[in-house]
Amino acid sequence: MSIPSAPVAKINLRTPEVMARVQEQVEHHYYSSLVERLRAGGSVLFTGRTTIRLAKQFGFCYGVERAIDLAYAARKVFPAARLFLIGEIIHNPEVNAQIAALGIRNLLDGNGRPHVEDLGPDDVVIVPAFGAEVPLLEEIKKHGCHIVDTTCGDVMSVWKRVRQNAGEEVTSIIHGKATHEETRATASRALGAGNGRYLVVLNLEETDRVCDFIAGRMGREEFLRIFEGKFSEGFDPELHLVRIGVANQTTMLRAETEEVQRRIREAILKRDGDALNFRLFDTICGATQERQDALRDLLERPLDALLVVGGYNSSNTTHLAEIGEQKVPTWFIRNQECLESPDRIRHFDLHQKTEILSEKKWLPDHDLQIAITAGASCPNNLIEEVILRLLSLRGEEMPELT
C-alpha cells in the first residue's frame, strides 16, 4: 500500500546559536593552524634540505564546508532523533568516520541499496553534497521525514540545465562516471517529467563512439551494446541523438569536458550542415577548476615529487593526481599513515584502480622540493599530519612560523 506524502516542516538549522556550536566542533575536527600559517606565508615551508610547497588552492571548498556544517547542525537541532545519511556526505573516509561518530547512520546498505521502509516523521534524512536521485527522494518524502539537503549549488546548476533539455526534447549527454552519486542524481533530473533522455560518456574514447554513430559509422545494436547501462530506459540512438545538449559531472577535468563538447558539436555540424541541434553549458565546478589551475601553476616549478591527499573515491582528487603524474612523480595518498618510510609508500594506483605498496626510494636523500595538494573533500588537519610526517621521515625539525 502506498504511503501518502506528508507535509515536511522547514526548520532553520543555520541559526547563530547552532552555527557557533557547530563551528567550534568542526574546527576541532578539521582545522589546522599550521596550514593556515603556511598559506599566509606564501604556501611554502623551508627547513634544512627540504622545501615543501602547497598549491595556492586545495582542500575544502565552500560546498563541502556547507555540507559538513549542515550535518553537524542536524545533530545539534535533533539531538534525540534518528539521523540517516544517503551514502557518504563527501568522499573522504576520515570525514565520514567523524559523521558516523555523531550517530548519523547510513541509509544505504553494503550494496548501495536504500532502506526506507521503517522511516517515520520523527526521523531526519541528510542528502549529501552530491545530491540524490529523484525517485529515492520522493520515496523518503512519503514517510514524512525531515530532510536536510546539503546538495552543492554547482550540482543544482547542472540539474537546471538538464531539466531544460528534457523540457525541449533535447538529449543530455553527461560527461561523468555512470556509477558516481552525482552523475546518477543528474541523470534522474535529465528525465524531466518523463520525456527526457540521457547518455553518460566517461572519456574521449566513448565520445568518439558517439560521434561514430552520429556520422553513420556505427550501427544501432553495436551502440547499445557499447553503452549498456549508461543510458535512460527506452533510449534509441537513432531518435535520441538528433538534438543533443552536453552537461557534466561537476568534478571532471575542464579540458576534457570542453573536448567532449567540441567533438560532438563537430559531428553534428558535419551531419546537419549547422550546429542548431547542439547546445552546451559551462557547468564545471568553480572550486574544482581553481584547484586544477593552482596545481598546474605549482607544476611549473622544478619539483622532485607531488603528494595528492584525499579519498580514493573522490573524483576531483583523482583528476588532480592525473594532472600531476603527467609532469612529476606523483603519489595519491589517503593520509599520513600511507608514508611508511622513505622506501615504502602506500598509494592509489590510477591504472590498477587500487591501493598498492611501493617499496622503492620514493623520498630521496638529497635536497628535496616536494609539493602537496588535496581534493575539495580533504580537511586541513590531514594536510598538517602529512607535512609533519614528511619532516619526520626527512629528519627535519619543524621551523617556527609566525
Q: Which of 182, 256, 384, 385 is catalytic?
A: 182
271, with CB counted inside 10 A (0-12, 13-18, 19+), is middle
Per-residue DSSP letter, 23: H
Nearest to 241 by CA among 208, 277, 217, 285: 277
Those residues whose C-beta lies under 8 Å from the C-beta of residue 203, and which sit 6 or more positions away, are: 256
> Phi-psi category of 317—alpha, beta or left, where left has phi over 0 and alpha has psi -120 to 50?
alpha
Q: How many CB atoms lie within 10 A of CB 190?
A: 27
- Pinpoint the alpha helices (H) of 41-82: 62-77
Rounded Cα gap, residues 279 and 242, in angstroms: 12
In order of 77, 108, 153, 215, the CA distances from 102 in angstroms are 13, 17, 25, 54
Active site residue 182: yes
Rounded Cα gap, residues 147 and 71, in angstroms: 11
Nearest to 363 by CA among 323, 320, 310, 304: 304
In degrees rounded to 5, what are phi and psi of residue 266?
A: -65, -40
Residue found by looking up cell 588532480 in the block = 320
Long-range contacts formed by 213-216: CB under 8 A, 24+ apart: 213/237, 213/241, 214/241, 214/264, 214/267, 214/268, 214/271, 215/267, 215/270, 215/271
224, with CB counted inside 10 A (0-12, 13-18, 19+), is middle
The continuous run of DSSP H or E covering 279 comes out as strand 278-280
User: Looking at the annotation, which residues are catalytic?
Assistant: 182
